[in-house]
Amino acid sequence: LIGYVFIGLAVLILVMAVVDVIISNRVSKGFKQLASGCELIARGDFTKKYADSYTKELSMLANGFNLFSERLQNIILSMKQSKISLNDAGSKLGGTTRDAKKAIEQISSSIRSWGENLKSQNGSVEQTSQSVAKILQSIHSLEKLVSEQAESVSGASSAVEQMIGNI
């Protein structure tokens, strides 16, 4: 009877270890996908979106990452639109001295506005960069915790095997 109890216990621990490894792999996969998304953003590709994941934390991280990507894409689009606007203003210059003076004043005003926008956007980019750094720190921290948990399960499995061996 005691032998069956130990065998049942060993099977239970083995099943728990397998489930833990599966869960650890699923969580790690999500973090790896987010890390690859950082590389895509670094190359200027903002199209990749990440779905909710297996864990609440990873889902929050994916949603934050999607929001970050969308905001950064909007900032870049805004800068492109500002560039187009400035180019249009430049092409309309010409003619008389009075028209040239008015056009120069308009460009000067646009440049000041653009500079203010750049300052504002620079602050947003810096804030976003800090958020990405925090996200990466969280990813590394969670990966470390997952590894430690896997090692603990492995150690527990070894201890059970030794107990069975001693019996």
- State the Cα–Cα distance between residues 160 and 163, nearest whole angstrom: 5
End-to-end CA distance of the chain: 13
Inform me whether the pLDDT recorded for 78 exceeds 50.
yes
- State the Cα–Cα distance between residues 62 and 35, nearest whole angstrom: 11
- A 10 A CB-CB count for 55 gives 14
Report pTM. Answer: 0.40
Inform me whether the pLDDT recorded for 15 exceeds 90.
yes
Contacts of 24 (CB under 8 A, 6+ apart): 146, 149, 150
pLDDT for residue 156: 80
Inform me whether the pLDDT recorded for 162 exceeds 90.
no
pLDDT for residue 53: 67
Q: 44-53 burial string, b = 16+ CB within 10 Å, else e?
A: eebeeebeeb
